[in-house]
Structures are given as structure tokens and as C-alpha cells.
Structure 1
Amino acid sequence: MAIPNPRLDSVCVIGTGIAGLITAHTLLRDGFTNLVVLTRDKSVGGVWRADRVYPGLQANSVGGELIFSSLEMSLSDTADGRPTGSDLNAYMEKFAARCLDGKIRFETEVVKIQRGTSGSGWLVDVKDGRSGGSETLKFSRIVLCTGGCNTPTVPENLSPAAAKKAGFTGSVFHSVEFRSRIDEVLSTVKSVGTEGRDAADSVVIVGGGKSAQDVAAYLANEGRKVTVVYDTLDCFLASTKPMPDFVRKSRVLSIMSPHSNLRTCLEHFLHTTWLGAKIVHVFWNFLAGSAFTAIGAAEDSPLRRIHSPFWSIRISDEGVPSPNRFHMLAGSGKIDLVSPARVVSYGHDGKSVVLNDGRMLRADAVVLATGYSSSWASIFDDETSTTLGLNRHPPTASAEKYHWNYTSLANPPPAHPQAMQWAGSIYRGLVPAKNIARRDFAINGATFSTNHGMVYEVASHWISSYFLGDRMRLPATAEDALETTERQAAWMRQRYPDMLVWMNESYTSKLDFCNWPQAIDELLEDMELPSMRSGGSWITWPFKTISLKEISKLTEEREAKRALILSL
């Protein structure tokens, strides 16, 4: 009897962001030629696609954390070591043209995903964005790569509908629309110094995250008066000189950030002893203080109202601060900051917003940098989500069942009750635990880290091995997988207090922020491949630069392992 060849099965990859592109490429290299990539967009790139990239947009990392081992990136002359939005868009379009030619169906919106009528395979309802026609596609396997940064979250009290009801006359839109609304804002709000301009003309930006900062910097550089209202800014790393690779691109930050499994003696010392914990917190406090020094922030500056760099996953790597980026512009008074504060409604004068303390701010346009919700809810009905195991849920075990007595985790900041911090049950952030034995559904792009390119590339190999039925280190049963995910959820609640309260479903299964090297090691070991590939002695290993070259031959390594097993 012939053994079924999984490479002949039809595979659907949904999404053409970083995770979708590298997943499709890896599957194709592994022989899954009956593969199609679906995207509702007109071009590839996800959050870096052409219609979302606006002038001045740059990544919040300085190096190659958004590229793949098989293709180098060329930076524009204005990039200053940091990829611009245009750089990343060009890179992904080049990658897709070279590696996925003819495999992508553009302007094809996935409306619904459900199991096949026989209980196997998948039915994918799609809508053609050009013709408006609908059809149902059938696939044996699916990889969901839609991420959590495409569907905007708009608070009801600040929505365009609420603005209209209050009589607000200015523009109101989410930051995801900024590229398409730039001209509207620039024509509505006159630049500083323009004849006939009202001195109070202003754009109000709601939020203190990366998109709020990017939009504020762009408008300020265009000469507009900008006011940013926030409670707490994202933390940032900055220095007066470029940080060396043996710190930025090594394991230094990862071992200074505790992991749920301490693998080395050094990590045990740092996170389970009094002296080690002291070193850890001095290190992170030094990084925060150095960033304030680099931007020249005064002691009473609102720029210092940031999330903790140790306890948070909201951190941007600014490198050497630039005078035309957010922090320096705000420090020099070219961007007004109102903090701590929240915008709660629109004023009835038609030209203002109201803050939670009763103050009113003039606003001729309002940009809502209020985050994103997961795309998953709109494409899975409740029954499929529950059966598959995609839904977030409150803790199912008491806090005492899983607890890490790390000295570095003593004295955490205030947080909501743990029962409010819901998490998902996605094993390794890649496979719903309830579905792990079927090997027909996976997710890439739901792991939150500071090195998406490398993490998603290794994850794509893990997914391909999983689909191929390779021998892997996997839980024996769905119950074992669920136990692992519950432990992971408990870890996230302890490690990052309150982060799960605001994170959407696409990211609440795996937060490997600075711990991406450990996350990669876990995936490599699952595939029975060597981990900790950077080398070094017992003294130098934390400072060895981690390179994409370390994972450039994973396809060949996995094939060699497969051949060896067959020969035994």
C-alpha cells in the first residue's frame, strides 16, 4: 500500500506580510507545489505594503530584524541604518517576485474558514475584490499568517460616528489610514507660519505607541502643529553612539530578560539570585537612563512617562536619535505632549476634544493611534474557533500551579487581576493545542518578538516539518499540548503583568520579546536540529553575534535528517 505523500496536498497560506511570504517560500522549497497564497491586498507586504507606507515611515529596529536568510536588503540613502517603510516594501515585493511568482492571488478576501463537510480538509470562502464574486476553495492544509496589525481598533466614543454626532467638523480616522488621508490633513490644517492660519490649528493624535509617534513626526516635519495625548509612551532604546552588534545582535538582551526555562548557569545566576537580579535591573535601568540622556529629556519631561523596559513588550529601538524623529522633535517643542491624559469625547464646539480631566484641546483633525484587533474573529465562526481552539480564555489553573520564584521577577508593577488576562492555547504560538495531532492547520506571525524575520523563518521550517509528518519533539496528546500552553500563559501573566489585557488574539499565545533566541532554540530542538548556533566559549557565548547565516541551510539540514532516519 502506497504511503500518502503530504507534498501532494493542497496548501493555503493566508496573508502576504513577513510571516506569509517566508512560510510560502519554505513550503514551496519543501515540495508543496500545490500551494496558493491569498491576500485581500493589491500588493504584498502586510503592514509594509505600498498603500500603507507613507513618507518618513521607518521600522522601530535598527538592523536586519525584518529580513530573511535568502535575500539581502538594500537600504535607501536616507535610512540611517534603519529600514524605511519604502525599503521594507521594496524588499518584500522583490522577495515575492523572486520566490513566489504565480503563487499569490491578490484582492482575494478570506470571508470564512471552516472544516470540510467530511471532517477533514478546509473550506475557505473568498470574495474577489475586483469582480465582487464569491467562491469556496478547498484545501488540505492551512497556514494562517494574517497577523494582528491589519484590523484597526476604534473606541466607540472616539469613532467618526461619535464625532459626527457631537458636531465635530474635522477629519477623524485611524492611523492605519494615514497614507490615504495625508493630503486631506495637510490641506485642512495649515502649516505654522502660513498667512491666515489660526494659531490654535492643530492635529490631535490619540495614543503613545509606535504609529502615534510616526504620524506625529511626519506632520511636525511638514510644519503642522501636533499634539499627542497619551497616558504612557512606549519605551525606547537610544544611545549617543551606535550600540555594538555584540550587544544588539547577540544574546545579551535575551539573557537579561528571564525565560520560562533557564537553560544556562549564567541565566540561573541572573534570575534566581539576589546579586544576579540586582545586575539585571541595573542593566535595564541603565538602558532607559541612557535613552533619556541621548534625547536630552529633562527630568520633568513627559517623554519620561514610558512603559518599563524590563516589564513591558512595548519597546522601540531608536538607535542614535535623529532630529527629525519623534523624541527629538518633542524634546525641542515641535510636538506638544499632553500626559498623563486620555481623550474621552469630542467637544460640542465642533473644534475640540475633551480630556478625562475636563480640559479641552483644539483639534482640526484627530488621528486615532488606538491599536489593532485580531483578524481571526471575522473569518472563523464561533463553532470553528471553539473546535479548533483559537479562542482566548481566562486562566484555567490557579496562579499557584505555575509560578516562577525568580528573584528578577520580584516587585512587579501594578496589574489587573490575573483572571482578566486572557490568553490563547496555541502551542509554541504555531498550532492550536486541541488540533495538534491532525497536522493540517498552523499559524505563523503570532509570536511577538524583536526579530520577526528570524523567528518567522525558523517557524516556517517547523510548520513545514509538522505538515510533512517529520519526527519532531511534540506533545503526545492534545491534553499534553494544552498543559504546555497553560504553563506558557501563566508565564506570560507573571513575566509581563498587564500585557495580555491589551494584546489581541493574534499575539496572546507567545510573547518572546527579547527572548527570541531562546524561542528559536526551542523550535530547532523540536525539529531535532542543533540549537545555540552562534558558538563561543563559556565566557564569550553571550556576546557572539547571531546571524541569519545560521539558519540559511535549514531546508538541507531537515532533508538530511529525514534521509538518515529512513536509512536506519
Structure 2
Amino acid sequence: MASSSKRPRSGVSGTSGASADTGSSPEAREPEESVPHVRVAVIGSGFGGLGAAVRLRRAGITDFVVLERADSVGGTWRDNSYPGCACDVPSHLYSFSFAPNPDWPRSFSGQPDIRAYLEKVATVFGIRPHLRFNTEVLEARWESEATRWRITTSAGQWTADAVVAAAGPLADPQIPELPGLSAFPGKVFHSSRWDHEFDLAGKRVAVVGTGASAAQIIPSIQPEVGKLTVFQRTPAWVLPRRDREISPLEKWLHGRLPVTAKIRRGTLFALRELQVDAFVRRPGLLRVVQQLAERHIAQSVQDPALRAKLTPDYRIGCKRILLSNTYYPALAAANTEVVSSGLRELRGSTLVAADGSEHEVDAIVFGTGFHVTDMPIGARVFGADGTTLAEEWKGGMEALRGSTVRGFPNLFFVIGPNTGLGNSSMILMIESQLNYLIDALTTLASVGATAMQPTARAQRQWNLELQHRMDRTVWTTGGCRSWYLDPSGKNTVLWPGSTTAFRRATRKVDLAEYELIMRTSPTAAPTTARTVQEVTA
């Protein structure tokens, strides 16, 4: 029987199928007087969840909890602890603007340093009293009469006026269903559930997948394993990684003169904003970048046959661009074999590729990504009419400004549909969505409304325009099939614009795009109206 290493993840369980039996029936509910109520419940404690908590406190909203199913903060930077795990965005841009870190050790920081940064954020900004660890969200259900969310967790129930879904899309690993996998006699684990107790030294190891995680794992384990077999369905474009140690003088300057850190961050930001046009409007401009990648592989891989296997047949940028100086040398090593085919089935300890070749291994590492276009939270969140998010999104994920979904009042996403990036720091997008969240909550309070949901027209128009812009991007025209696309071929993951444009789009809530729900008395049924003026007139 195959063994696997599993750890709990942030906030929401990973199943993307039917909702678990959560005991949400009236008979299973806790006595109402014993159920704690908060103004806001935040799901997840990675960058999105911790950022939301900090911004809530800064806005004077202290009546909130952060529900985390693991036993510590960190999100994806807690779970992904595989050898070589590091960020591919420069450190000074991959951090909160309100929490600069002058002590980043390298240009591109590793997982331990990023996780330590998030632990520090939780402490310095006073978030720890709000954290509820080992609390997995099993179900969140909107109660229309009470105009609130009822949240059933592994540690009991909560009610909340609003829910912030910040578990993120890189939360739950995706492992392909392969014939014979359950009977594999060796060790099996996903890159995000690395088993540090299993010794790879001298073993025959298979790595399935050649994405961003695999590109870091492969050069890290290649020198110690006996034989490394890499299953590659589609090669990735790889550019050199311009990484270096940050000198003590630089750290001193950033600590003593914070303006120097701001200049550094601003420069990194500007350089990435300048790249946007090539990705979203004029993909032909990426030809120069592709030539750099072609030169990189030519210099790194001498064997023409291997070089041919590793050279993509699509335009650079269509799939995620990888950064590495060690990936190609590891693939060219004597103890590495690249199988340019997917994995078809397993027969005992023999892995059978789609091309029919057979490979004996002792362990399998799946670098096969996550449930991104089918967010795990979808099957566990029930809206105003009892429909789950998964059902609402069966034709593809969509939200208004990546943040709110019609039929799910007061549900706010952090890293929601079409908020991902292909060239810059996700922290920029997270902070923009947090601006939108805080403005929504303060607007509700100022106009005396209880809840809000987007109008059907606003949500539809936003997504029609977004997908129209997507048609010109390299992700659509580049000739590849990536994890940015859902099964129908629709890109529901990335934002087709600059982070500056998204910041403008989420600076303030436009009440014309929303229906507001409010009560006229404690016992009255909630009233829905497009504007507050219509309700109070």
C-alpha cells in the first residue's frame, strides 16, 4: 500500500467534491446562546489571512477571528517545505508594504525566511489573540433571516456578519488518479506535503511534473539520490535566476534609512509593471525574453537530444516562466533520466509512462500542482438560496472585481477569481483586495446596511470585459495548455492587466454595483435593494 505524508492546511478542507456531513441541521447545532458571534471571520492565516487581520485592526475592527486548520500561521509557506523551496519574486517586493523587512538574507528568499517573516507579522501586529488553530472550516452557510454566516468548524460553531475567504488557491494538492497508485509499495508524497523523515539517499526516485516546485526540488535532491526519473508532459521555459546574498551594508541602510528600502521596492515594482504590456496586449514583445531562455538552455544542456526534450514548442509566458541556474544541470546529470511523457499507470513498483516505457522506482514525488480552478472552499460554502459556490461556479469561477459573488452576501475573497499574476508579486494584489474589503465593511456601517452582494449585471459585465481583454494575452494566444485554464479552456486565474490597474479598480466600493441588505427592526425580514436610498426613501 502506498504511504503518503499529509498535514492540515489553512482554513478549508481540501475536498472538491460534495460537502462533508457537517452537522449543520438544526438538530446538530450548538445551543444558540453558546455559539460565539463575531463581526468578521477570516479563513486562513497565510499572507491573505494575516493581511486581512492587520487591516481589520487598523480600521478599528477588533471583533474578528482567524480560523486556521493547521497549528501555525504561514499558509503555503508553512506547507511547502520541500528541499530548495524559495520564492521567485524578489524579497523586497514579496512582503507587505506596511511591514518592510530590512533583514532579508537574499534577493530571492527561501521558505524558512518567508515563514519566519509571517510569524513575526502575526506577533508584531497583535494578531495572535485572534488566531484559532486546529480549526478546520467544514461548512459556511448564509442565514438569510438572521443576515449572517453560520460557520461549522472542527472545533465548534461560529456566527459572523462577514466572512473573508483567504485560504488561497495553492492550498490543496492535486494528485492524479492513476491505476495502481494505491498498491505502490514505496513512498508517495506531494511536494507540498514533503516527508522529511524519509531518506532519499541512494533511492530510485521519480518526480512527476516539471513546474515551479519540481524545478526547485530536482536540483536539490539529484546529487543524493541513486537514480532520478523525471516525468515531463510539457517542458517549461527557464531563465537564469539572478540571486545573491544581500550585504550587511544593504541591510544596515534599509534598517537605518527606510527610504532606501522604499526605493528598492519601488524600482522592483516599476520594472515588473513595465513587463505587463508584453503579457497582456503585445505578446510579440516577449520574443527577446524567449531568445534569452533559448540561450540559457543552449549553454546549460550540451546533449542535443535532451535539449530538444527540454525546449518548449509554445511562446514564452504562456505557462509560468521558471527561474533557475541549477535545473538544467540537474536534468543533464548522469543519474537523471527525463521521460518526455506523462505517467500512465503503476504496476507494483514499476511506473509506466504514456509512451510505454517502464521505470522501477522506490519513491514518487508529485509536483502536480493544486486545485486552483476548482477552489476547495467551493463545496463548503452555501449561499442565500442554499447553492454551493462549487455549483455556482460549475461554468467557471467568477466574481466582481475578484472579491465578491452574487448570491453569497458578505463573502469577500482574498486571491479570488482572476486575481493571479504571471509576472509580479501577489502581495500587491492581496493588499488591493484588502483595501476593497475594508472599504466595503466601513461603507456598510456608514449607510446602516447589514450586508451586500453584487448585482447580476455588475458581476456579468465585469467578467465579460475581463475575458475580452484575456483574448489578447499570451496565456490565450501562446499555444499552450496551462493550470491557469479551467476544463473549458477559460482563464479564471490570472488578472489581464497591471497591478496598478487592479489597485484603481479596487480602491473603493461602487454602491451602484451592489444590492444592500438591511433590517428595519430586529424581527423584520431583511430588505434587499440596489441602493440605500431606495430602502430609506
Q: TM (normalized to structure 2)?
A: 0.72
1:476-515 equivalences under 5 Å are 477-492=455-470, 495=473, 496-497=475-476, 498-499=481-482, 502-503=485-486, 509-512=492-495, 515=498
Change (3 A) 1:82 1:387: closer
1:205 corresponds to? 207
> Which residue of 326, 336, 354 maps to 1:356?
354
Cα offsets for 1:491-543 (capped at 9, x unmatched): 436632344675599x9645127733432333237689xxxxxxxxxxxxxxx
1:150 corresponds to? 171
Structure 2: which amino acid aligns with 1:203? V
Q: Quote the Cα distance in structure 2 between the aligned partners of 1:38 and 1:239.
A: 36
2:210 equivalent to 1:184 = no
In the TM superposition, residue 148 of structure 1 has moved relative to its aligned partner by 1.6
Change (3 A) 1:391 1:213: farther
1:163 corresponds to? 181
In the TM superposition, residue 237 of structure 1 has moved relative to its aligned partner by 2.9
1:445 corresponds to? 415
Q: Quote the Cα distance in structure 2 between the aligned partners of 1:203 and 1:385.
A: 46
| Contact 2:300/2:329 (8 A) holds in 1 | yes
Q: Quote the Cα distance in structure 2 between the aligned partners of 1:83 and 1:504.
A: 34
1:255 corresponds to? 277
Q: Quote the Cα distance in structure 1 between the aligned partners of 2:145 and 2:286.
A: 55
Q: Quote the Cα distance in structure 2 between the aligned partners of 1:463 and 1:65.
A: 22
1:368 corresponds to? 366
| Contact 1:175/1:211 (8 A) holds in 2 | yes
Q: Secondary structure at the match of 2:198?
A: helix
2:135 equivalent to 1:108 = yes
In the TM superposition, residue 246 of structure 1 has moved relative to its aligned partner by 6.6
Q: Secondary structure at the match of 2:235?
A: coil
2:329 corresponds to? 328
Change (3 A) 1:222 1:389: closer
5+ residue gaps, structure 1, are 1-7, 129-134, 192-200, 260-270, 272-276, 395-422, 529-568
2:151 equivalent to 1:124 = yes
| Contact 2:378/2:388 (8 A) holds in 1 | no
1:518 corresponds to? 501
| Contact 1:343/1:354 (8 A) holds in 2 | yes
In the TM superposition, residue 467 of structure 1 has moved relative to its aligned partner by 1.7
Q: Secondary structure at the match of 2:50?
A: helix
Change (3 A) 1:34 1:222: same
1:431 corresponds to? 404
Q: Secondary structure at the match of 1:25?
A: helix
| Contact 2:238/2:293 (8 A) holds in 1 | yes
Q: Quote the Cα distance in structure 1 between the aligned partners of 2:470 and 2:72.
A: 35
1:19-418 equivalences under 5 Å are 19-49=48-78, 52-73=80-101, 79=106, 81-99=107-125, 100-116=127-143, 118=145, 120-128=147-155, 135-157=156-178, 162-165=180-183, 168-178=184-194, 181-186=195-200, 190-191=201-202, 201-238=203-240, 249-258=271-280, 271=282, 278=284, 280-292=285-297, 295=300, 300=305, 301=307, 302-305=309-312, 308-312=315-319, 314-318=320-324, 321=325, 325-333=326-334, 335-339=336-340, 341-347=341-347, 350-373=348-371, 374-381=375-382, 386=387, 391-394=392-395
| Contact 1:208/1:229 (8 A) holds in 2 | yes
Change (3 A) 1:14 1:346: same
Q: Quote the Cα distance in structure 2 between the aligned partners of 1:70 and 1:216.
A: 35
| Contact 1:429/1:510 (8 A) holds in 2 | no
Structure 1: which amino acid aligns with 2:145? S
Q: Secondary structure at the match of 1:214?
A: helix
| Contact 1:254/1:517 (8 A) holds in 2 | no
In the TM superposition, residue 36 of structure 1 has moved relative to its aligned partner by 0.7
Q: Quote the Cα distance in structure 2 between the aligned partners of 1:476 and 1:247.
A: 31
Q: Quote the Cα distance in structure 1 between the aligned partners of 2:204 and 2:212.
A: 20
In the TM superposition, residue 250 of structure 1 has moved relative to its aligned partner by 4.0
In the TM superposition, residue 46 of structure 1 has moved relative to its aligned partner by 0.5
Change (3 A) 1:116 1:369: same
Q: Secondary structure at the match of 2:154?
A: strand
Q: Quote the Cα distance in structure 2 between the aligned partners of 1:297 and 1:445.
A: 41
Cα offsets for 1:396-447 (capped at 9, x unmatched): xxxxxxxxxxxxxxxxxxxxxxxxxxx3221121111455xx5x22100232
| Contact 2:404/2:411 (8 A) holds in 1 | yes
Structure 2: which amino acid aligns with 1:171? K
Cα offsets for 1:222-264 (capped at 9, x unmatched): 344221101113333326799x9579734221122225xxxxx
Q: Secondary structure at the match of 1:257?
A: helix
Q: Quote the Cα distance in structure 2 between the aligned partners of 1:354 and 1:253.
A: 41
Q: Quote the Cα distance in structure 1 between the aligned partners of 2:437 and 2:302.
A: 45
Q: Quote the Cα distance in structure 2 between the aligned partners of 1:157 and 1:316.
A: 27
Structure 1: which amino acid aligns with 2:455? T
In the TM superposition, residue 30 of structure 1 has moved relative to its aligned partner by 0.7
Q: Quote the Cα distance in structure 1 between the aligned partners of 2:90 and 2:136.
A: 33
> Which residue of 424, 431, 438 maps to 1:464?
438
2:17 corresponds to? none
Structure 2: which amino acid aligns with 1:326? Y
In the TM superposition, residue 217 of structure 1 has moved relative to its aligned partner by 2.5
Change (3 A) 1:221 1:69: farther
Change (3 A) 1:210 1:112: same
Q: Quote the Cα distance in structure 1 between the aligned partners of 2:73 and 2:227.
A: 34
Cα RMSD after superposing both structures: 3.5
Q: Quote the Cα distance in structure 2 between the aligned partners of 1:290 and 1:523.
A: 40
| Contact 1:234/1:307 (8 A) holds in 2 | no
Q: Secondary structure at the match of 1:70?
A: coil
Q: Secondary structure at the match of 2:129?
A: coil
Q: Secondary structure at the match of 2:178?
A: helix
Structure 2: which amino acid aligns with 1:484? W
Change (3 A) 1:345 1:382: farther
Structure 2: which amino acid aligns with 1:125? T
Q: Quote the Cα distance in structure 2 between the aligned partners of 1:41 and 1:240.
A: 34
Q: Quote the Cα distance in structure 2 between the aligned partners of 1:504 and 1:448.
A: 18
Q: Quote the Cα distance in structure 2 between the aligned partners of 1:62 and 1:155.
A: 32
Change (3 A) 1:53 1:146: same
Report the number of matched residues. Answer: 433
Change (3 A) 1:378 1:351: same
Change (3 A) 1:452 1:306: farther
In the TM superposition, residue 107 of structure 1 has moved relative to its aligned partner by 0.8
Structure 2: which amino acid aligns with 1:258? V
Cα offsets for 1:345-387 (capped at 9, x unmatched): 112xx33100111110121111122221222134225986747
